[in-house]
Structure 1
Amino acid sequence: MLVGPAGAVFVDWNWLMRGAGWTDFVGLLPLARRDGVDVEAWLTRSALTRDVPPASIDAWLAVIAAYMLPNADEPVWPGGPPLVRVHQRLYARTFLDWLGARRGWTTAQR
């Protein structure tokens, strides 16, 4: 939380960027969905996302998964937190699972 003369601002340093206001909100939803929350209903009810084109939300889900995947199986850097790779794989998987459900993709049975 940054506090200044105009008030307080909450900053999510993990996702530090400038962009559409809905991206942080959508970024929270895959884990909620994984826990059984009907996040599609949240998308239509929230003023942040109700007017966002579905393809934009899908693209954002794909971007975050693509960001998390490249290093997810690499060794952790010296002194790095051991669970960072678990976190990356979890986020990539939950984002891709939701994206697949939204796009109607099915997975092959093994």
Structure 2
Amino acid sequence: KDASGALVGTLEMPMPVGLVGGATKTHPLARLALKIMAVRSAQELGEIAVAVGLAQNLGALRALATEGIQRGHMALHARNIALTVGAVGAEVDQLAKRMAEEKDVRADRA
């Protein structure tokens, strides 16, 4: 927060990226990722890294500004547990809501 109480987020990426040598040339998944993204230069890779960082930063700011990270995470976790135990359709939301309200999100009690 700044002096006026407004929520402020920043992103700094003081780390250089490169494509010459290292994992980008030897690791099969790194090569595949670069191919999928059609990255042809370190500049492009850096731009993608910054875009991902910015998206994550904005997502975190949204969570903080709305429901809070922990509450949002618990709601998502409750939904995943409901799906894991076989809830379908409207049951998923009903079960997830009940577990979250009772603050007891576990598969064995779902």
Would the TM-score normalized by the shorter structure come out above 0.5?
Answer: no
Give 1 or 2 for the bigger CA radius of gyration.
2
Q: Higher relative contact order at CA 8 Å, sep ≥6: structure 1 or structure 2?
A: 1
Q: Which has the higher helix share?
A: 2
Q: Which has the higher strand share?
A: 1
TM superposition score normalised by structure 2:
0.30
TM superposition score normalised by structure 1:
0.30
